[in-house]
Structure 1
Amino acid sequence: MSNLTPLRTIAAGVLDVAYFETGPADGPPVFLMHGFPYDVHAYAEVAPLLAKAGCRVIVPYLRGYGPTRFRDEATMRSGEQAALGADLLALMDALAIPRAVLAGYDWGGRACCVVAALWPDRCAGLVSYNNYNIFDHSKALVPDTPENEQKLWYQYYFHSERGREGLARDRRALTKLLWRTWSPTWKFDDATFERSAAAFDNPDFVDVVIHSYRHRFNLVPGDPAYADIDLRLAAQPAIAVPTITFDGTDDGVRPPSPASVHAHRFTGPREHHIVPGAGHNLPQENPALFAGAVLKLVRGR
């Protein structure tokens, strides 16, 4: 089992971002963005595959994870999608990368979708697990089916102070439960989980996570610094860049949907694949498939 080390750190927007980089410095750049509750090691096998193919691969820790830190104590510990997208854009700017293939899932996929939708000139191609991943706040209070509502129990738990305390006190047990229920056929071992769970000891992890799931349901305000981005996202902007989307048949939190469900959100070339046996953490469960999708976009095929 390999670790993504050594890490580098760069000042990017409101963060000092810790990230792993591999591959030739002059290769086509690719950003790999992890989700909740995961970390950069979701790409422990994807990153070397891409580097071997000649890509410059950047794998950052999101705000609130691992060694990434806020640069100012006064900055709101927001987990809203506008902030995640702004963080990715700021990292691209800090690294002087004008355009890249963006790939991710869960929170990281959302960040990629935000940049692809609002700054398409910065995105050479998009790989997004769970399709169009920009949350529609106008539908936050529209109930889903009872079966799907049950899968979101952790979000409703985080709406309460009991949930905040539960995450703070039992973050490893809680997140390990999510790993198991979201990827029921993925047979990860304790060492694999602990390698990622260390990232949840970040001092801002709880605040960022709780804000994310409360803001998603319009229960708390967002960071005013991202109000303009949030307003643009409220229009559910279409994604025009070349895109490959995935769903997994065994995803325990986001059930798969046919390509037609999100077709109107993609105005450029798009492929959609439903992956048999895949859970929520696709890049770690099926790294060859995920890396192959990235390379297809890198090579323009």
Structure 2
Amino acid sequence: MQPRTVTAGVLDIAYLEFGAPDGWPCIMGHGFPYDVNVYNEAAPILAQSGARVLVPWLRGYGPTRFRSAQTLRSGEQAALGADLLAFMDALGIARAVLGGYDWGGRAACVVSALHPERVVGLVSGNSYNIQNIARAMEPASPPEEAALWYQYLFHNERGRRALERNRRGFARQLWSMWSPKWSFDDATFERSAVSFDNPDFVDVVIHSYRHRYALVAGDPAYAAIEVKLAAQPPIRVPTIAIDGDSDGVNPGTAHHARKFEGLFERRVFAGAGHNLPQERPVEWAQAVLDVRKAAGHT
């Protein structure tokens, strides 16, 4: 399948499209360090159920490109949410079912919280993905701190150089640690790994993992959005939140339920790690169908 491209805000966003052009809109977001291939099985299932499934490469990944060399290569949460909203606007999509996990889930949560009129329903891997940057320096338990080693590495220049020199090595290490029961092969990994060759990948990743700890400034263009996110706004759209019970980086998000003030359900995928839609494509697709039904669409 050949990617398509649309000019959306500061980006030329590349994306894959599955299903009929007049199908019900469904936008799925990938995480770090993954790419659009995580939906290769789930997206066709949704397309067969009448969806028009759009899967964009995030900023810094694959064929997606910044339109200007002067734009800060920000990976902050406000930028990811703004990109998703700009993508919807560029394609003339008034409302859609949104889904994602990790970075892609964060973008979907941002739009769901701040622009609920644009969202039919939300499927969020790891639940409430909006960062509480004001509390980022509060320590967690030793096992949780140990799982975040890569973030602390990226806080210094040794980490930047390490990622630049060995993008595939670090990504594969994280895949293995975060999804210990997922037996992916070399071909599966390489299909996604080519997306890390994007010239802005390292800059966006490093900025993301520094900004979330308030170690670097954000892009002033998104300052107003970050102010709104700092208030930790609730999500009121119908939501199905999903955790994997074998997630090597996220210990579970049952405590996030209070952040959802509309129809809400939490599911746990047995044996699944962090990469939920690729490890459990059938169950992920069913969650998307179920949240749309919960929102009153049949």
Q: Give, in angstroms, the shift of residue 263 of structure 1.
A: 2.0
Matched residues in 2 for 1:80 and 1:15: separation?
Answer: 15
Matched residues in 2 for 1:240 and 1:86: separation?
Answer: 19
Specify every segment of 5 or more residues in structure 1 that has no aligned partner in the other structure, as ranges.
none
SS at match of 1:299: helix
Identity of matched residues, %: 63
Matched residues in 2 for 1:93 and 1:138: separation?
Answer: 31
Matched residues in 2 for 1:103 and 1:263: separation?
Answer: 17
Q: Give, in angstroms, the shift of residue 20 of structure 1.
A: 0.4
Cross-structure match for 2:110? 114
1:27 aligns with 2:23: yes
Matched residues in 2 for 1:207 and 1:68: separation?
Answer: 14
Cross-structure match for 2:235? 239
Matched residues in 1 for 2:222 and 2:232: separation?
Answer: 16
User: 1:149-203 CA distances to partner (integer Å, 9 max, x unpaired)?
Assistant: 0000000000010000000001101110000000000000000000000000000
Please give the TM-score of this superposition, normalised by the length of structure 2. 0.98
Q: Give, in angstroms, the shift of residue 27 of structure 1.
A: 1.1
Q: Give, in angstroms, the shift of residue 298 of structure 1.
A: 2.4
Cross-structure match for 2:133? 137
Q: Give, in angstroms, the shift of residue 26 of structure 1.
A: 1.1
Cross-structure match for 1:289? 283
Q: Give, in angstroms, the shift of residue 257 of structure 1.
A: 3.4
Q: CA RMSD in A?
A: 0.7
1:184 aligns with 2:184: no
User: 1:191-224 CA distances to partner (integer Å, 9 max, x unpaired)?
Assistant: 0000000000000000000000000000000000
Matched residues in 1 for 2:247 and 2:221: separation?
Answer: 34
Cross-structure match for 1:280? 274
1:267 aligns with 2:261: yes
Cross-structure match for 2:66? 70
Q: Which amino acid aligns with 2:26?
A: V
Matched residues in 1 for 2:247 and 2:277: separation?
Answer: 13
The 8 Å contact of residues 28 and 298 in structure 1, kept in 2 or not, is answered as no
Matched residues in 1 for 2:35 and 2:244: separation?
Answer: 20
Instruction: Choose from 17, 29, 50 the match for 2:13.
Output: 17
Matched residues in 1 for 2:149 and 2:215: separation?
Answer: 16
Matched residues in 2 for 1:184 and 1:22: separation?
Answer: 30
Matched residues in 1 for 2:268 and 2:13: separation?
Answer: 33
SS at match of 1:220: coil
Matched residues in 2 for 1:48 and 1:100: separation?
Answer: 17
User: 1:55-84 CA distances to partner (integer Å, 9 max, x unpaired)?
Assistant: 000000000000000001100000000000
Matched residues in 2 for 1:9 and 1:131: separation?
Answer: 29
Matched residues in 1 for 2:293 and 2:260: separation?
Answer: 20
Q: Which amino acid aligns with 2:87?
A: L
- Consecutive aligned runs of 4 or more in structure 1 exceeding 3 Å deviation: none
Matched residues in 2 for 1:203 and 1:257: separation?
Answer: 34
1:254 aligns with 2:237: no
Matched residues in 2 for 1:137 and 1:214: separation?
Answer: 11
Matched residues in 2 for 1:252 and 1:267: separation?
Answer: 28
Please give the TM-score of this superposition, normalised by the length of structure 1. 0.97
Cross-structure match for 1:6? 2
Q: Which amino acid aligns with 1:290?
A: W
Matched residues in 2 for 1:167 and 1:279: separation?
Answer: 23
SS at match of 2:243: strand
Q: Which amino acid aligns with 2:283?
A: L
- What is the number of residues matched between the two proteins? 295
1:34-49 matches, within 5 Å, as 34-49=30-45
Q: Give, in angstroms, the shift of residue 299 of structure 1.
A: 2.9
Q: Which amino acid aligns with 2:258?
A: H
